[in-house]
């Protein structure tokens, strides 16, 4: 009898014997066990850390507001931006800026975004974390072609025929029938998501609701979105990325050494390299998003406060937790969001507190710095109970209709290395699961290296993680509703998914964007 790799993982034999992973060792061309990817070194002179103040992306202004809907118009275009002091970087940005403008929305009030494409390539825009009808979900082949673009010049995909494409612009309709949460929007073009997000196509989309507004947690200027990502820069300030075809019009993919993921050596927060932010000695809420292509971080504070946990988590990908969770460190994989409160009253005025990355080395071990510069009265409180709509009580593994298994590993496609799910690469025409609307299922994921696995449309709860070395409990940082789970090497993780919202077909995929572009993606259809 042949024992599958999956059985090996479940029995804990792989870690025990240290064998039998087809590509296990070689797929991990990483600086350490905690990262999957390869470092690309900048040629530009890099600034010292903590010299540039943090900036916040502007809040987008609706072009029209009526009783049911807020209307926006965003133009995707190229523009110069000073990211490294004294140098210009050509970014591809929503309204020409990186990060794009933040969309502020209310739960249950619709948002319609007209996305116009003035870039030289096709785009598709996805609202990550959104419960969105399929026509507006930013399917990888549901493209907005540039005005005057001939579809024949474009790389042909199997199954692409028949996909609707739009020319010049597309209206995305978001009902936003969902809880308050920190979402983000980003490019999702088939085969080219990695380089297009890297060039700047990402922004925040924040949903608020009455339940959250009523809480006494930090608000207004003390509710701060932080988009963390890594980039590398060429001498002249341009972004470096190892595309096979840097015009992004021909062959997709990256140079072979980078197939595990592209890691930059500059850490940006809201597009600013290693910024500093002045704060008062009060509580602040930070909506932390890892918008990196491949880099994982482990967030920590230095110095740590004398008493109490550095981070009080109040929300996850899918909004508020039922009760706050206290963490000393927070691992964060690409696309995950952590909504945390940091209490600067635990520090003396004058203290400089660094947000560290414990998985980095040298300059990538710093993210940003908070300078506690003044005293202020704090009106905020973190209540023991945050949310009653989190509703895990109504979601119980015994109600799951079935369990499906998905193995995320390196594979081959037409003689080339690729990334697959159950050894198959993405084919827009193939549907691998047909869950029923309103049902719950258990999805079980196994891995070779790190794969942050993301499902569109739905949210899930992490039930267990199992590996030889680490036991089977979920991590404390797995709490709450998730849409992305940070799978670690040789892990078996089980998640409980509720298929709610809309019928139609959606993708799930690895959110290491190099893996995604190298086809680690599949369709499920809510039937």
Which among 315, 321, 74, 70 has a CA at the least distance from the CA of 176? 70
Distance from C-alpha of 222 to C-alpha of 183, rounded to nearest angstrom: 18
Q: Report the site for ligand C2O in 312-371 (rule: CB under 6 A).
A: 335
Are 479 and 325 in contact, with CB atoms under 8 Å apart?
yes
Distance from C-alpha of 128 to C-alpha of 457, rounded to nearest angstrom: 8
Which among 269, 270, 283, 277 has a CA at the least distance from the CA of 373? 277
> In the complex, what is the shortest distance from the CB of residue 350 to Cu ion, in angstroms, rounded to a whole number?
42
**494 contact, one of ligand C2O, Cu ion, none, CB 5-8 Å limit per kind:** none
Binding ligand C2O (rule: CB under 6 A), the pick from 131, 149, 179, 188 is: 188
Are 492 and 467 in contact, with CB atoms under 8 Å apart?
yes
Which among 138, 37, 118 has a CA at the least distance from the CA of 509? 138
**488 contact, one of Cu ion, ligand C2O, none, CB 5-8 Å limit per kind:** none
**186 contact, one of ligand C2O, Cu ion, none, CB 5-8 Å limit per kind:** ligand C2O
With binding defined as CB under 6 A, does residue 186 bind ligand C2O? yes
Distance from C-alpha of 445 to C-alpha of 478, rounded to nearest angstrom: 15
Question: And the tokens for 419?
Answer: 């990334």
Q: Which stretch binds ligand C2O (CB under 6 A): 111-119, 215-223, 300-308, 504-512?
A: 504-512
Distance from C-alpha of 237 to C-alpha of 83, rounded to nearest angstrom: 8
With binding defined as CB under 6 A, does residue 126 bind ligand C2O? yes
Are 142 and 164 in contact, with CB atoms under 8 Å apart?
yes
With binding defined as CB under 6 A, does residue 285 bind ligand C2O? no
Q: Which residue is nearest to ligand C2O (CB)?
A: 128
**510 contact, one of ligand C2O, Cu ion, none, CB 5-8 Å limit per kind:** Cu ion
Distance from C-alpha of 337 to C-alpha of 319, rounded to nearest angstrom: 9
Q: Which stretch binds Cu ion (CB under 5 A): 4-12, 194-202, 212-220, 513-521?
A: 513-521
Q: Coil, strand, or helix at residue 414?
A: coil
Distance from C-alpha of 116 to C-alpha of 232, rounded to nearest angstrom: 28
Contacts of 148 (CB under 8 A, 6+ apart): none
**509 contact, one of Cu ion, ligand C2O, none, CB 5-8 Å limit per kind:** ligand C2O
Binding ligand C2O (rule: CB under 6 A), the pick from 346, 459, 509, 515 is: 509
Residue that has been written with the tokens 């206290």 in this structure = 326
Residue 128 or 498: the one with the smaller Cβ distance to Cu ion is 128
b/e code 182-217 from CB counts within 10 Å (16+ = b): bbbbbbbbbbbbbbbbbbbbbbbbbbebebbeebeb
Residue 28 or 457: the one with the smaller Cβ distance to ligand C2O is 457
With binding defined as CB under 6 A, does residue 287 bind ligand C2O? no
> In the complex, what is the shortest distance from the CB of residue 316 to ligand C2O, in angstroms, rounded to a whole number?
15
Binding Cu ion (rule: CB under 5 A), the pick from 512, 519, 522, 526 is: 512
Q: Binding mask 109-148 vs Cu ion (x if CB under 5 A, - otherwise)?
A: -------------------x--------------------
Distance from C-alpha of 445 to C-alpha of 19, rounded to nearest angstrom: 20
Residue 336 or 343: the one with the smaller Cβ distance to ligand C2O is 336
End-to-end CA distance of the chain: 36
Are 276 and 369 in contact, with CB atoms under 8 Å apart?
yes
Q: Which stretch binds ligand C2O (CB under 6 A): 161-169, 221-229, 250-258, 507-515?
A: 507-515
| DSSP one-letter string for 217-238 | S--GGGEEEEEEEEEEE-TTSP
Which among 277, 320, 217, 346 has a CA at the least distance from the CA of 51? 277
Residue 36 or 354: the one with the smaller Cβ distance to Cu ion is 36
Residue 177 or 378: the one with the smaller Cβ distance to Cu ion is 177
Binding Cu ion (rule: CB under 5 A), the pick from 410, 456, 482, 498 is: 456
Q: Report the site for ligand C2O in 447-466 (rule: CB under 6 A).
A: 454, 456
Residue 265 or 483: the one with the smaller Cβ distance to ligand C2O is 483
With binding defined as CB under 5 A, does residue 231 bind Cu ion? no
Binding Cu ion (rule: CB under 5 A), the pick from 35, 39, 495, 510 is: 510
Binding-site ranges for ligand C2O (CB under 6 A): 126, 128, 186, 188, 335, 454, 456, 507, 509, 511
Binding-site ranges for Cu ion (CB under 5 A): 128, 451, 456, 510, 512, 515
């Amino acid at each position: 009898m042949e024992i599958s790799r999956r059985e090996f993982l479940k029995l804990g034999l792989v870690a025990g014997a240290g064998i039998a992973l087809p590509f296990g060792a070689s797929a991990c061309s990483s600086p350490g066990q905690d990262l999957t990817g390869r470092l690309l070194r900048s040629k530009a002179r890099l600034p010292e850390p903590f010299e540039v103040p943090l900036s916040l992306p502007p809040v987008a202004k609706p072009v029209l507001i009526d009783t049911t809907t807020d209307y926006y118009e965003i133009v995707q275009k190229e523009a110069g931006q000073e990211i490294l002091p004294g140098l210009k970087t050509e970014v591809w940005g929503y309204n020409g800026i990186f990060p794009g403008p933040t969309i502020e929305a209310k739960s249950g009030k619709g948002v319609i975004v007209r996305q116009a494409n003035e870039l030289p390539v096709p785009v598709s825009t996805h609202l990550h974390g959104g419960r969105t009808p399929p026509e507006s979900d930013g399917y990888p082949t549901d493209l907005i072609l540039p005005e005057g673009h001939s579809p024949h010049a474009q790389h042909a995909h199997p199954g692409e025929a028949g996909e609707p494409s739009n020319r010049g612009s597309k209206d995305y309709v978001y009902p936003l029938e969902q809880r308050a949460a920190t979402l983000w929007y980003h490019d999702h073009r088939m085969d080219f998501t990695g380089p297009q997000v890297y060039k700047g196509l990402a922004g925040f989309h924040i949903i608020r609701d009455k339940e959250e507004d009523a809480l006494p947690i930090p608000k207004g200027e003390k509710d701060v979105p932080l988009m963390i990502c890594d980039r590398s820069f060429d001498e002249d300030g341009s972004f470096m990325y190892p595309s096979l075809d840097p015009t992004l019009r021909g062959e997709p993919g990256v140079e072979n050494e980078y197939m595990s993921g592209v890691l930059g050596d500059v850490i940006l927060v809201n597009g600013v390299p290693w910024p500093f932010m002045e704060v008062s000695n009060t509580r602040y809420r930070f909506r932390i998003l890892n918008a990196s292509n491949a880099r994982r971080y482990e967030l920590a504070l230095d110095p740590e406060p004398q008493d109490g946990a550095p981070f009080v988590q109040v929300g996850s990908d899918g909004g508020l937790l039922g009760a706050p969770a206290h963490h000393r460190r927070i691992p964060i994989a690409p696309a995950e969001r952590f909504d945390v409160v940091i209490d600067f009253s635990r520090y003396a005025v004058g203290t400089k507190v660094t947000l560290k990355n414990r998985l980095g080395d040298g300059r990538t071990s710093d993210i940003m710095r908070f300078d506690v510069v003044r005293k202020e009265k704090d009106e905020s409180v973190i209540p023991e109970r945050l949310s009653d709509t989190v509703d895990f009580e109504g979601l119980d593994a015994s109600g799951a209709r079935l369990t499906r298994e998905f193995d995320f590993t390196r594979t081959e496609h037409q003689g080339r290395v690729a990334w697959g799910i159950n050894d198959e690469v993405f084919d827009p025409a193939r549907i691998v699961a047909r869950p029923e609307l309103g049902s719950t299922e258990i999805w079980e994921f196994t891995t070779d290296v790190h794969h942050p696995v993301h499902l569109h449309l739905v949210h899930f709860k992490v039930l267990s993680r199992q590996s030889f070395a680490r036991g089977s409990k979920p991590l404390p940082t797995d709490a709450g509703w998730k849409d992305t789970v940070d799978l670690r090497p040789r892990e078996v993780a089980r998640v409980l998914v509720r298929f709610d919202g809309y019928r139609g077909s959606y993708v799930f995929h690895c959110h290491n964007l190099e893996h995604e572009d190298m086809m680690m993606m599949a369709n499920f259809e809510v039937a």
